[in-house]
Structure formats: structure tokens, C-alpha cells
Chain A
């Protein structure tokens, strides 16, 4: 399985941008970079994903390094509701046709009012 490395925890102030880093030096050419988050007592929630180009959606932006060995999830204005564990995952081609989501330890984001 491809692996990712994330900081265990990060803190942010409310209404400020947050940059959550992820290293994935063993990424292969067909692996998509996925981000999910898990709020307390809830199931994981999809945030964003991408392959090579930077991606934006209503929740966040994903900046992918040119060599694809790292990426950064950007929350433009953190709110208290964004306090969660954020998982950076390489969805790989397990068995050639399946893209499984194998979770690492993630980053616990705390947001201060």
C-alpha cells in the first residue's frame, strides 16, 4: 500500500486559513490523492481529491507538488465546525482495478475561537 505522512496535530484560529501538509514520496503515477475528514462521533466525510493539477471545490483547495511527492489541503477560512481529523490517502490500484482507501493516522485539527 502507498503510504502518507502527516503531522499528528495542528492548531488554527477561527476565520484564518489552514494549510494541512501531506507527504507521499512513494506515490505511483496512477494514484489519486484523496482527503477525508472525520468529525467527532461521525463517519469520514469526503473533502477533495486530485491527480496532478491543483483542485478547488466548495470545501477546500488541494495543492499538489509538481513531483507529486507532497500535497497540501487548504481550508480558506477555518470555522469551529472544521475541527476534525483530516486524512490524506493515496487511493491506489490494488489488484489492478480496485482503488482502495487505506487510512493513515491523519492530522487532528483544532480550531480556536
Chain B
């Protein structure tokens, strides 16, 4: 099983809402990532978790709050987002985050903020 599952596939939320994105993998991977992708642009790294600990935050605004409750699950909590935060949010995982390991990506959650 080389699958990274993201839910929901689509999400529409208002600027005052609180919502969460979920990512799950059962490959035993210990590194997990959140990326943001705007239309016709490459994915941009947001957060990296290594062994359930946040190791990298790429200067992401605090309205995005990641959480890694266990080694299989990664959440992204959203609060007070802006319309410009509308994008495809991608989750990825890799065995241990080292340079020689490949990453597996989910299909993403397409978020629209209204």
C-alpha cells in the first residue's frame, strides 16, 4: 500500500469558519509534509513533521495550525482564512525524510475560502 489519503477532496469555508484537513498513510513513514499549491504554480512547502515532531515551519501564518497526533495521521487546522488562501493543499510522506528516500503524495484537498 503506497497510498496517502487526504480528506476531504473539496472544501468551501467562510472566513470566520474553523475547519480541518486530514491526511493518513499506513506505510510506516515517519516524515510527513504539508504543501500549498496555487493554480499553475509548483507546490510550496509549508510544514514538515519528523517522528511526530514539527521540524520545519516555512514561515506559515498562524491561521494554519498543523498537528501530528500519531505516526499515521497529519492534520491541518484552518481558522480565519483569507480568500487568497484558496489553493490545493497537498500532503506527502516519506520513510524517514532523508535525502535518499522518495515521497508519496496524496491527491490533495481543494480549498475555497469565501
Contacts and interface: CB of A to CB of B under 8 A. Distances in A.
Contacts of A51: 100
Contacts of B59: none
Interface stretch (B13-21, B43-51, B67-75, B78-86): B43-51
B100 A99 contact: yes
A97 B100 contact: no
Contacts of A85: 42
A46 B102 contact: yes
Interface of B is mostly: strand
Contacts of B43: 44, 103
Interface residues of A, number: 29
Contacts of B56: 94-95, 98, 100
A93 interface: yes
Task: Report the interface size class on chain B.
Answer: 20 to 34
B111 interface: no
A91 interface: yes
Contacts of B98: 97-99
A30 B98 CA distance: 10
Contact of B104 (A46, A92, A105): A46
13 contacts: A32-B100, A34-B102, A44-B90, A44-B105, A49-B102, A94-B56, A97-B98, A98-B31, A98-B97, A100-B56, A100-B97, A101-B103, A102-B45
Interface of A: 30-32, 34, 36, 42-46, 49, 51, 85, 87, 91-95, 97-106
